[in-house]
Structure 1
Amino acid sequence: MSKQATKGVLLVQLGTPDSPKTADVRRYLTEFLMDGRVIDIPSLGRNLLVKGVIVPKRAAQSAATYATIWDEINGSPLMYYSLLQQKMLQEELGEEYHVELAMRYQNPSIESALQKMQSMFLESIRIIPLFPQYASATSGSVIEKVMEIMRTWPYFPQVSFVNSYCEDPDMIDTFVDHALRHDIAAHDHVLFSYHGLPVRQLGKVDPTGNLVCPETGCDSCKMETNAFCYLSQCYGTTRAIAKKLNLTEDQYTVCFQSRLGKTPWIQPYTSDTLHDLASRGVKKLLVFSPAFVSDCIETIDEIQVEYANEFKAFGGEEVTMVESLNDDPKWIQALKRLALNN
């Protein structure tokens, strides 16, 4: 990168194994699930649960799944699109900026990316977690890790963080554009499937001390009462997309995928929603997954394979996935605005 760069931008994605081999997947799952913001229980219990139960049970199975989505040339879809986003943003920002990409878990690590930036003596660094909706387990974990690493630096540039952009207009327009690639009217219903979180994590960021849940109004909340509520932000993203597509409330459903363990997670669960819709005669679904800015294992396999098969088993016929933001130039413009808005 040009030596003229005086400002830095660090894009941080969740992470991906280095390969679909079981050993690499085991390493990735261990680092991911051992994060105290992801599984927020005391460290001893987390160690026993992750290393003694979850990872031994899931590593080989997850490796087999990763193998089905791994491209021989481009490797991990998440890594492929993240690198494209980094490259395209760098081109947009020009030589005054240096754009790095890091993964919260595995490689390239946040440590290695920040080490490069430290050696450049940049005047400012803008951190952009690639998660539109704030959650302690995602954006919060990225911000904590960055602060942990940078606290040992002998000098401090101006550092700023983007914690959420759930209603960013260019991001919303990109999802809408991708939906319009499909014949929306040919589908019986639209599903907005977000990554799930344990219910207890919502209460931890509620300033009232109450446990926030859909029954208390999150489906209509516009985040004035709690700026850090992941659930309210998911509904905010949904409303923005639905409004652009002129969808009425009876035409779409919000649900949550990827739950882990027996503890209550945000509901309704995607699997239960698929069952309910199929039982009501819905045959064709158009599915958004707006918690992800790049197509990845959750969109390519979990929705397009696992949930599609479930839906058909329940009596449905077709699940159509709306492509993620990926390398769409309009999404890169959204990233550019987030990078410049210090």
Structure 2
Amino acid sequence: MPSSSASSKGRIGVLLVNLGTPDSPNTPDVRRYLNEFLTDARVIDMPAAVRYPLFRGLVVPLRAPKSAKIYQQLWDKDRGSPLLYHGLDLQKLVQEKLGKDYLVAFGMRYQNPSIESALQELRDAAVDRIIVLPLFPQYAAASTGSVQEKVMELVSKWWVVPSISFISTFVDDPGFINSFAALGKAELEKHDYDHIVFSYHGIPERHVLKGSHKNYCKLGSCCNSYNKNNRYCYRAQCFETSRQLGAALGLSPEQYTTTFQSRLQSRLRDPWLQPYTDEVIKEMPAKGIKNVLAFSPAFVADCLETTIEVGEEFKELFEEAGGQHWQLVPSLNSTPLWVDAVTDMIHRN
């Protein structure tokens, strides 16, 4: 018979979290999503007295109708937002892999299903402890950090707080790297490519500098290695993922480029991490690079920034500049290797 201490233990709770998505591609829902997202102090690190009037009063009202049109291109008429349904698929498959000793919940940092509702599901099940996995390979204060802050804020209100651990980064996790490399190899078998682009979501340079350990970060050659001094530097992590993926694909450093996309403002007013993807790819055809395979290794599920921005907008820019073939590697979504990788990360934690 099991001992009383063993039988008293509940399941282990697992919380998978992604960024968020509007409830629909209609302007009011997109506006609601953007208001929550762009007023997060970790995303827009301005004083609240400036942030709220600027973004709720000016930026979001102007941006929401335009974003709604883009979301309409992305939206699946049966399943809705790819970021949501791929997340739910991943949750289901990871639950099946982990078995009855675990309870896997899924939430979004912004909008629905919320982190609060996912945590409540775990709380109601009286899980023994909780493992939180933000689905962002590289740590950034505006993504992983925001999720961690929100989880701690919500759980701090519970009378009984279980043991909680966070998987803060999986930038060089073998399962993550091998999952993306497998998708890349499948695309490389279909076409001859001149070059590989690893395009990561950009963040303001000041975000990196604010988190620099003992002023180690210089936004340059300090990212040539990944070590204890820059293990939470977003830029260093992106370059490390590129190195790991390049090695897994059998590439030399000259065969790939690391770039950053999705900046909100011009670099003259507010510099973001460089080089900028859109500027780099416009110069490639003149250098004889006419066929490019693109990865988005900052994302583990297809979304607006991958499918639309990298897959369509960058393809158009590249072809207008004289490029012949631009192909986006699909994201990990709920592919078997990725399900195995997530399961393994949870087991190791």
> Normalising TM by the smaller chain, what interval?
over 0.9
CA distance in 1, matches of 2:174, 2:42: 29
CA distance in 2, matches of 1:316, 1:174: 28
Aligned: 1:205 with 2:205 = no
Residue number among 222, 244, 252 corresponding to 2:256 in the alignment: 252
Residue in 1 aligned with 2:101?
96
CA distance in 2, matches of 1:328, 1:151: 35
Please say if residues 202 and 212 of structure 1, whose CA atoms lie closer than 8 Å, have aligned partners that are also in contact: no
Residue in 2 aligned with 1:169?
174
Deviations 1:316-341 (A, max 9, x none): 12210111111111111111122122
Shift of 1:211: 4.6
Aligned: 1:297 with 2:301 = no
Normalised by the length of structure 1, the TM-score is 0.96
Deviations 1:189-233 (A, max 9, x none): 1000000000000011112235530x2431x12133222101111
Residue number among 24, 33, 37 corresponding to 2:42 in the alignment: 37
Number of residue pairs the alignment of both structures matches: 337
CA distance in 1, matches of 2:299, 2:162: 30
CA distance in 1, matches of 2:325, 2:21: 29
Please say if residues 104 and 142 of structure 1, whose CA atoms lie closer than 8 Å, have aligned partners that are also in contact: yes
Residue in 1 aligned with 2:275?
268
CA distance in 2, matches of 1:249, 1:117: 44
Percentage identity across paired residues of the two chains? 45
Shift of 1:156: 1.4
Residue in 2 aligned with 1:312?
319
Aligned: 1:282 with 2:289 = yes
Deviations 1:63-110 (A, max 9, x none): 000001111111111111111100000001111111000000000001
Residue number among 82, 87, 93 corresponding to 1:77 in the alignment: 82
Aligned: 1:180 with 2:176 = no
Residue number among 243, 264, 276 corresponding to 2:247 in the alignment: 243
Could you tell which deviates more after superposition, 105-114 or 181-190?
A: 181-190
The SS at the match of 1:14 is: strand
Residue number among 208, 230, 234 corresponding to 2:234 in the alignment: 230
Residue correspondence of structure 1 range 317-332 to structure 2 within 5 A: 317-332=324-339
Residue in 2 aligned with 1:130?
135
The SS at the match of 1:180 is: helix
CA distance in 1, matches of 2:143, 2:187: 30
Residue number among 105, 108, 111 corresponding to 1:106 in the alignment: 111
Please say if residues 10 and 128 of structure 2, whose CA atoms lie closer than 8 Å, have aligned partners that are also in contact: no
CA distance in 1, matches of 2:242, 2:203: 17
Q: Which runs of 4+ in 1 moved over 6 A?
A: none
Aligned: 1:21 with 2:33 = no
CA distance in 1, matches of 2:50, 2:215: 25
CA distance in 1, matches of 2:265, 2:55: 11
Residue in 2 aligned with 1:8?
13
Measured on the aligned residues, the alpha-carbon RMSD in Å equals 1.3
CA distance in 2, matches of 1:333, 1:265: 34
Residue in 1 aligned with 2:51?
46
Deviations 1:270-328 (A, max 9, x none): 01111121221211110010000011111110011111111111111221011111111
Residue number among 122, 139, 142 corresponding to 2:144 in the alignment: 139
Runs (5+) with no aligned partner, structure 1:
none
Q: Which amino acid aligns with 1:233?
A: Q
Q: Which amino acid aligns with 1:177?
A: A
Q: Which amino acid aligns with 2:225?
A: C
Please say if residues 5 and 98 of structure 1, whose CA atoms lie closer than 8 Å, have aligned partners that are also in contact: no
Shift of 1:52: 2.2
Residue number among 185, 190, 197 corresponding to 2:196 in the alignment: 190
CA distance in 2, matches of 1:58, 1:308: 23
Please say if residues 217 and 230 of structure 2, whose CA atoms lie closer than 8 Å, have aligned partners that are also in contact: no
Shift of 1:140: 0.3
Normalised by the length of structure 2, the TM-score is 0.94
